[in-house]
Amino acid sequence: MSVITSRYTRVPYCFPVSCIINVFFYLQSTEENRKNTERLKTGDNRLLKLTEEATKLRELNRKRNLPERDQLNKQLIAATRTLHEKEKEVAELKRRIGILEKALKQQVQAEVGRHRATARKLYNLQCDHHELQEILKVPPHFLN
C-alpha cells in the first residue's frame, strides 16, 4: 500500500466519511455566504438608489413656493426612514456573515484536527499490523 503524506505531517492521507460530510457542509455554508453576499449587494444598490432619491427630494424641498411641498416632505421623510432601515439591515447582514465565516473556520479547524488524529491512529495501526505480519513470518522454533 502506498502511503501518501501531507505537506505538514508524515501520516497517511485518507478521506474518512466524516471529512467528506464536512466538505459538503462547508460547500453548503459557502453557498449561504454567497447568497448573503448577493443580498447584501442588492441591499447596497437599493440603499444607493434611496440615497439618490432622498437627495433629489431634498433639492426639491429647498425650492420655494412649490404647490406639492407637503407631499414631497412626506416622501422625503418616508425615504429617509426607509434608508435608515436598510442601513440597519445591511449592518445586520454584514454581522451575520462575519459570524458565519468565523463559525465555519472553527468547524473546519476542528475537522482538520479530527482528521489528523484519525490519520495518526491509522498510521499507528498500520505499523502494528506490519510488525505482527513480521512476527508471523518468523519460524516457530525461533520463538522459544
- Domain positions in the chain are 17-139
DSSP classification of residue 123: H
Contacts of 119 (CB under 8 A, 6+ apart): 9, 11, 12, 13, 14
Is residue 73 over pLDDT 60? yes
CA distance 53 to 47: 10
More confident residue, 47 or 112: 112
Interatomic CA distance for residues 74 and 71, integer angstroms: 5
pLDDT in tens, 129-141: 999 998 888 776 7
Average pLDDT over residues 98-102: 95
Position 96 pLDDT exceeds 90: yes
What does the pLDDT look like over 13-46, one tens digit per residue?
A: 555 556 666 666 777 788 888 888 898 889 889 8
Domain 17-139 listed as CATH 1.20.120: yes
Region 76-94: what's the mean pLDDT?
Answer: 95
Residue 3: per-residue pLDDT: 46
- Write down the pLDDT at residue 87: 96
More confident residue, 44 or 62: 44
Q: How many angstroms separate the most distant Cα atoms in the chain?
A: 116
